[in-house]
Amino acid sequence: MYVRSLELKNYRNYERLNLDLNKGLNIFVGENAQGKTNIVESIYYLSSLRSHRTNRDRELIMWGKDKAYIRADVEKMFGKHTMEFLLSSEGKKAVKIDGVKTSKVSDFLGTVNVVIFSPEDLKLVKEGPAIRRRFIDAELNQIRPKYHHAILQYNHILMQRNNLLKSILKSPSLKMTAEVFSEQLAEYGSFITEARYEFVKKLSLISRLIHRKITNGKEELEIIYKSASGENMDRKSIKDELYKYYTENIMEDAEKGYTLKGPHRDDIIIKINGADARIYGSQGQQRTAALSLKLSELEIIKSEVSEYPVLLLDDVLSELDINRQHFLLDALKEIQTVLTCTSLNDINEFHFENKDVFKVTAGKIEKFNAV
């Protein structure tokens, strides 16, 4: 799949933009704060109905304007689609696919698949569990629309339970009310945990093979899903374990003021040669592991939808050494890639049959043939 054309109106610093992209490598070069990442962000929006930088659509609208518009023509193996998004400063949004308005996110997710790799993703290994949960959730949302619904429902019910927990110590009679949430939390929580576990099994297998290639067989990468739900990862066992916890530990959670157990607390453990990479890995090892994980996303999505997603590389080459740069770019021959950088020096030596270069200056884009 690939994005053939992109149109923006009043989006970030683009008052009006019409852009044609090719199936191969599309390079956007320019100084910082000129609008390169805004292009990447708008394409990411096509897959997720959200930005990778903010949760507020209002920030995507040009200063002083009330609305922003995104339109993209997408070509896939089994057809073409036109996607349109109208964002309002009031927080409302309108979405159309092939001219038909849709209000259900599940009808929209999966129309186009995107993988993004930015400097923030290099923190996948060394930062806390939240960033790794977001990494898993972002991909599962694309390939399993029901997962997105489960996450929304789980988080909503969890917030209700946590709000109630803060009042139980003063009003113990509210304990019975908290028990009402146990069944629903266990139902959605078990679905989320099982889906993540299955995803991580695939991720571990594929990333291990990729990591071996990057390190010339010197390192073995292992990804393990760490859940508080126990060792049995079938859905019934997970649900029983979660339900037992939610019903039997209300007062313990009330003392803390929040729910201590569930998929919102789970993590993945990343090991290199048997050692926890977060604790014992060098910076180079951690970055190689992050690269292996991101490249694995491409293969997992292809296995699910039968074609590669669009890959967005936002100023990430400057964070990788030359060997990792070579491995990354050599892997992109069959994938539409949108790459941002501040200089063309790092990519002049790489040969791509389909390659376009765009100069970005203060929200204006000019195509040229410098490479």
C-alpha to C-alpha distances, 95 to 6, 85, 101, 107, 309, nearest whole angstrom: 15, 5, 6, 10, 21
pTM: 0.91
- Is there a shared CATH topology between the 1-112+309-371 domain and the 124-308 domain? no
- Whole-angstrom distance, CA of residue 207 vs CA of residue 294: 9
Q: Where is the binding site for ATP, in residues?
A: 30-37
- Whole-angstrom distance, CA of residue 345 vs CA of residue 249: 58
Give residue 146's identity as a one-letter amino acid code.
K
pLDDT tens for residues 93-108? Answer: 899 999 999 877 777 8
DSSP letter at 61 equals: B
Instruction: Find out whether 3 and 79 touch, Cβ atoms under 8 Å.
Output: no
Q: What is the CATH number of domain 124-308?
A: 1.20.1050.90
pLDDT tens for residues 161-210? Answer: 999 998 998 888 888 888 889 999 999 999 999 999 999 999 999 999 99
Across the range 323-346, mean pLDDT stands at: 85
Domain range summary for the chain, segments of one domain joined by +: 1-112+309-371, 124-308
Q: Where is the binding site, in residues?
A: 30-37
Q: What CATH superfamily classification does 1-112+309-371 receive?
A: P-loop containing nucleotide triphosphate hydrolases (3.40.50.300)
- Whole-angstrom distance, CA of residue 365 vs CA of residue 11: 14
DSSP 194-228: HHHHHHHHHHHHHHHHHHHHHTTTS--EEEEEE-T
Residue 369 has what pLDDT? Answer: 64
